[in-house]
Structure 1
Amino acid sequence: MKFLIENWYLVLTAVLSGGLLLWTSLRGKSGGVATAEAVRLINREKGVLIDVCEPEEFAAAHAGGARNVPLSQLTGTGAPVKQLPTNKALPVVLMCQTGARAQRAAGILQKQGYANAVAVAGGLAAWREASLPVEKSAA
């Protein structure tokens, strides 16, 4: 006990570092799916790939076969978006440039009943890094 009292700063450091490790590991689980899992969902479970970037970003570069539904459309009036699947049981794989907007979109869609809405961790950057197809739209 004397050691703990005399070295309180060491104990505090150990508790803080353990807490930070736990927090980052729990936070990492909600960061989306890896690109390999996204491809599996699209190919094997008929998942729909949705890019939530703004139209200009989408035109510059997007994952092959992706539909563009900007995040602003999902957060708007709540009116149905025709690019989204009508079958809410299908996986909806969401993507943006880095994965942050896609993660927000996944939360929004889950609240709207799309239980299988997931974001691609790392977004288009991870998609490119995995050497998956990227397209550009005609201007």
Structure 2
Amino acid sequence: MPIIQPSEAKQLLENGAEAIDVRQPQEFASGHLPGATNLPLDQLADIASVMFPNKEYGLVVYCASGARSARAVQWLKSHGWRNVWDMGSLAAWPYGIEHA
């Protein structure tokens, strides 16, 4: 699945999509997209349907390098979420980050 550009991710987020950080909590605490939700990849299967029961909801997924986000997007799409985009690496985000 193709990785979207940060400018496209920013537009999706401005239009109501949710930023999903699939890194571990300590990584998330060191910096994340503004307003992002931390949903570690190893908890995705257990928590995604509780956090995002509406599978039409827009989700922009990212991680540290792009490997975990790719796996998360693949899993989400295979389990019925339709509007899921892979932003890849947080390092690509040029618009500023928040710290926990």
Using the size of structure 2 for normalisation, the TM-score is 0.89
* Cα deviation 1:45-102 (Å, max 9, x = unaligned): x11110000011011111111000000002xxx4343773222112110011122211
Moved over 6 A (4+): none
Tell me which residue corresponds to 2:91: 125
Structure with bigger RCO (C-alpha 8 Å, 6+ apart):
2
Residue equivalent to 1:41: 12
Give the match for residue 63 of structure 1. Answer: 33
The share of aligned pairs that are identical, in percent, is 35
Give the aligned partner of residue 65 of structure 2: 98
- What is the RMSD of the two structures over their aligned residues, measured on CA atoms? 1.6
1:59–1:81 Cα change, 3 Å: same
Q: Who is 2:56 aligned against?
A: 89
Opposite residue 21 of structure 2, the aligned amino acid is D
Correspondence for 1:111 among 38, 61, 78: 78
Decide whether the 8 Å contact of 1:48 with 1:85 is kept in 2. Answer: no
Structure-2 change in CA distance of 1:111 and 1:82 (3 Å): closer
Aligned mates of 2:78, 2:96 — CA distance in 1: 30
* More helix by percentage: 1
Change (3 A) 1:126 1:48: same
C-alpha spacing 1:57/1:83, structure 2 compared with 1 (3 Å)? farther
Question: Structure 1 residues 68 and 82, CA, compared in 2 at 3 Å: closer, same or farther?
Answer: farther
Q: Which has the larger radius of gyration?
A: 1
* Higher relative strand content: 2
Corresponding residue pairs, total: 100
Q: What is the alpha-carbon distance in structure 1 between the residues aligned to residue 46 and residue 39 of structure 2?
A: 13
